[in-house]
Amino acid sequence: MLTMDMSNGALRNNGGGYFNHCLFWKGMSPDGGGHPSGSLAEAIDRDFGSFENFKNAFSNAAATQFGSGWAWLCVHDGGKLEVCSSANQDNPLMPGIGCGGTPILGLDVWEHAYYLNYQNRRPDYIEAFFNVINWGQVQTDYDVNK
């Protein structure tokens, strides 16, 4: 995706949608929730000050994404973490999106992801997401990509 022709709408939307949803589903578990541990927890504390600060930054990125899109936790070379959001099916691996690094956690904020259960209450959906995050998988992706 790093060298994707962003003018090819079908490739951008379908390729992005495939990658984004794979990461989204991989990042959840019925046994999820809680807090990260290990090197990921240390990186969150280092880069955000605390888990609560990270949660607020991630939730804000998801809640303020205008229209359809995604919120991301990304890791840069060296292990630095960043929270950002992107529109539609774009993601941080695509050129010119404005946030970089490798996504290790993604939250779908298209209405189809939450409308049946939450109607227009996106903040409630975002809060519930933290109850199913598979921190073990996010940790693995962090370790592989830092």
Whole-structure pTM value: 0.93
Residue 8 pLDDT class (50, 70, 90 cuts): confident
**Domain extents for the chain?**
9-145
- Residues belonging to the chain: 146
CA-CA distance, 42 to 45, in Å (whole number)?
5
pLDDT of residue 31: 97
User: How far apart, in whole angstroms, are the C-alpha atoms of residue 112 and residue 119?
Assistant: 10
Q: What is the pLDDT of residues 74-92, one digit of tens each?
A: 999 999 999 999 999 999 9
Residue 2 has pLDDT above 60, yes or no: no
The CATH code of domain 9-145 reads: 3.55.40.20
DSSP string, 73-92: EEE-TTS-EEEEEEETT--T
Show the tokens assigned to 21. Answer: 């949803």
Q: Which residue has the tokens 């890791």?
A: 75
Which range has the top average pLDDT, 98-102, 105-109, 114-118?
105-109
User: Angle between the 38-48 and 51-64 helix axes, to the nearest 10 degrees?
Assistant: 70
- pLDDT score at 1: 59
How far is it, in rounded angstroms, from Cα 42 to Cα 33? Answer: 17
Here the tokens at position 12 are 């951008």
pLDDT of residue 4: 63
